[in-house]
Structure 1
Amino acid sequence: MSRYTFGAIDIGSNAIRLLIDYVEEYKKPEFKKAAFVRVPIRLGEDVFSKGYITQEKEADLMQAMSAFAALFRTFAIDAYKAYATSAMREASNGTEVTEAIARECGIDIKIVDGNTEARTIYGAGGLEKVLDKTKSYFYIDVGGGSTEVVVYADNREVEARSFRLGTVRYISGAVSAGEEKLFSEWLKEKSSQYKPSGIIGSGGNINKAHRLLDKKPKDAIKAKELSALYERLRKMSVEQRMEQMELNANRADVIVPALFIFTTVLCATGTDTVVVPKLGLVDGIVRELYKERKVFL
């Protein structure tokens, strides 16, 4: 039996995530979570209002990366990848920040485009248990700075696109009406072409909605349930969401724009369900590493 230890880092617009997985090969690979860390560093707060990452946020990010590097050493990982997404893509000093982290922490960060992000998230797998291979689905990942869409049809990926619609971008007032219109029109066009049976939802906010609705792991969220939850949360203040719904501060403000995006998707596609496999970019990165089986350290 072969065993690998892989590390993955997702530097997003709303938070930073680290995943360390053990991968054991029997008849097929088994992925076992060794460690998962989420650090609420909101890079998008700077980037979508100022256009760059401030020294304060850079210092916070540097501390997190130093800690992640220490965890990589402790777990003696075989390989890792660190991907930075929407906020780092758009920051005027994004390359400068990633180069500083490489020098100080020894973590090499790749700034990926939206389509790469979408395909990596989709590559996280785990969908074979919830999908009918004869039908079409739209995979939707709602992040802090962007929403990634992968169209799944004929048992394969057929299209992928990234939109500048994200939760932190919404609360920063940085979403354009033109992008919203483009998103809705694109979804309607592709729905007419592929006729999706349902939506696959990804991201911390749809995961939280799944829990708030007391869903079992394999249960889908119905459109009317999601709409009702959105309306309920929308009418609450951030403080009320924290007190009554037991949401942390880093979740309480962004969950409403996230659910707005998902309700927009359901409306535009004419679908009625959201399946929530609870997999994300870091899971996709680990599966990439397993396929490549290369040591990058």
Structure 2
Amino acid sequence: MKSMLASIDIGAHSARLLIVQVDKSSGTYETIEDLEIPVPLGADVFRSGRIGNKSVAMLCEIMKKFSFKMREYRIKEYCAIATSAVREAENADIFLERIKFLSGIDVKIFTGPDEARLGYLAVQSVIPANFHFEEQSLLLADIGTGACQVSMFDHGIMCFTETIKLGTLRAVEGFSDASSAATRIEQLEPVIDYAFSELEYLSRKMNCTGVIVTGASSRAMLAMKKQRTKRGMFELKAEEFKQLRQIAESHTVEALGREYNIKSDLAEAVLPCCMMISNLLKLTGAKMIYAPTISTKYALIEDFINSSMHRRDPFEPQIFGCATQIAERYSSDMRLIAATVIFAEKLFEKLAPLHGMGHEELKLLKVAALLYKTGLFVNNQAYHKHSHYIILNTEIPGISQAERRIIAMVARYHRKAVPKPQHLDYIALPVEERHIISKLAAILRLACGLAVICKPDERMTVRISPGLVTVKIGGMGRSAGFDCIDTDMFNYAFASKIIFL
């Protein structure tokens, strides 16, 4: 069975529409339409902090055309995102409302962690098995027009991700294309060096063997080498990169574009891109640079195809890896945390007939189980409230703001009081979210107690009867220690008693 899907990507200097025909049985797709229309959003936002009225009107007209094109193909499923230029605009909400009202297209703002997730998926979709991503320490840098998303991976697991609010277009905003190379270097270098100095506090964690760069400007820069490896991507030694930077520094934008057949907007971005990569090499000590030949628009549509086919999120292991890194950063007892995660997952599966939740809720429960002790780093008094604050204010790639709000509340209610009318943060949430929070927090409370008194590998059997749940741990049955398990939240969430044997 085949179906039509579309993705829309609103960037700093263009809006893109990709329409594909998908084979739902295999997930493969064929490109039907690939449209890109220039629009000066970045120039507006990076200069004045807002999207100008002319640009709003222009984008609305473009979106109306995109909407008409999707109707031509009878497309019902699409995803539409806007990146850093819209994300940082003071009037972003009005801009998105105008698009929705005039074109019917619902555009979501892509955050830095969203870009980190998509960058990882893009790289994973094209790098060959013999690259051995899971055996190296690597830095992934998505060098965009408005921002640079930097993510560190150690043996295939994301350690951290940071957004540098400086991209290639933002860096050159206000500079003349005709400026001499020396003048451009003098103008750009302090701006870029200062922006990337934000990463210096992480430099001890950034030692790696190579830097993977994505983005149109990095591909344009490395295409100057005019050679790809057999692995299907550009590879460059640090010493070879210095030669490319020297070429970029010795040419005007016009000369660079003419000599290397690079479009003018990309030729303008090559020098700042080189300077950004130089900073990353200095911070990491990396000796190799890699550039997979995939565009964001294809990574976006492939991710949307996976989602529309209800496939398991391939980024999920990275979510748990990031949450583990956060727990370690706040000095959590990782042995206890690991046991809590195991018991939480066991209880979730055994109690499925009672709670009726699915895999997405299990994901949130496991992240909450990884992070519920982070508040102890602040104070052991009311630490569950500190955990709530930390989680609520810590971005986790692959976890939306709404999901993070649920996770924070689950950690908040893993101990002490059950939700009450005077708990305004809880009462203000949609009723569906409150139900999920109550059920997940009830399970987490039980898991916390079991993690203290039982071994994670002990057998668990659960019997569910009307008004009573019986949990038996181990083969022989025992009662020692079970009276310390807090069952108040379970009684509250499920209107049922629970006993342990």
Structure number, greater radius of gyration:
2
Secondary structure, aligned partner of 1:220:
strand
Aligned in 2, Cα 1:58/1:225: closer, same or farther, shift over 3 Å?
Answer: farther
Normalised TM-score (structure 1): 0.86
Asked if the contact 1:203/1:278 (under 8 Å) is kept, the reply is: no
Q: Cα offset for 1:110?
A: 0.7
Aligned in 2, Cα 1:251/1:128: closer, same or farther, shift over 3 Å?
Answer: closer
Q: Which amino acid aligns with 2:196?
A: E
Runs of 4+, deviation exceeding 4 Å? 173-178
Aligned to 1:129: 128
Matched, 1:212 2:211: no
Write the deviation string for residues 172-197 of structure 1: whole angstroms up to 9, x where unpaired. 279576532113443x23224xxx22
Aligned to 2:46: 48
Q: Which amino acid aligns with 2:47?
A: S
Alignment of 1:1-297 (within 5 A): 2-25=1-24, 29-124=27-122, 125-129=124-128, 131-132=131-132, 133-172=134-173, 175=191, 178-186=194-202, 188-192=203-207, 196-216=208-228, 217-293=232-308
Q: Cα offset for 1:141?
A: 0.5
Q: What RMSD over aligned residues (CA atoms) do the two structures have, in Å? A: 2.5
Q: Which amino acid aligns with 2:136?
A: K
Structure richer in helix, relative to its length: 2
Q: Which amino acid aligns with 2:125?
A: G
Q: Cα offset for 1:294?
A: 7.0
Aligned residues: 289
Aligned to 2:374: none
Aligned to 2:330: none
5+ residue gaps, structure 1, are: none
Write the deviation string for residues 90-141 of structure 1: whole angstroms up to 9, x where unpaired. 1111111111111111211111221112212222331441630222221110
Asked if the contact 2:196/2:279 (under 8 Å) is kept, the reply is: no
* Partner Cα separation in structure 1 for residue 30 and residue 118 of structure 2: 19
Give identity over the alignment, percent: 25
Q: Which amino acid aligns with 2:252?
A: S
Write the deviation string for residues 229-270 of structure 1: whole angstroms up to 9, x where unpaired. 222122222222232222222222122112211222122211
Q: Greater RCO between the two (CA within 8 Å, min separation 6)?
A: 1
Q: Cα offset for 1:56?
A: 2.1
Asked if the contact 1:122/1:284 (under 8 Å) is kept, the reply is: no
Q: Which amino acid aligns with 2:128?
A: K
Structure richer in strand, relative to its length: 1
* Partner Cα separation in structure 1 for residue 121 and residue 64 of structure 2: 28
Secondary structure, aligned partner of 1:213:
coil
Asked if the contact 1:184/1:265 (under 8 Å) is kept, the reply is: no
Q: Which amino acid aligns with 1:10?
A: D
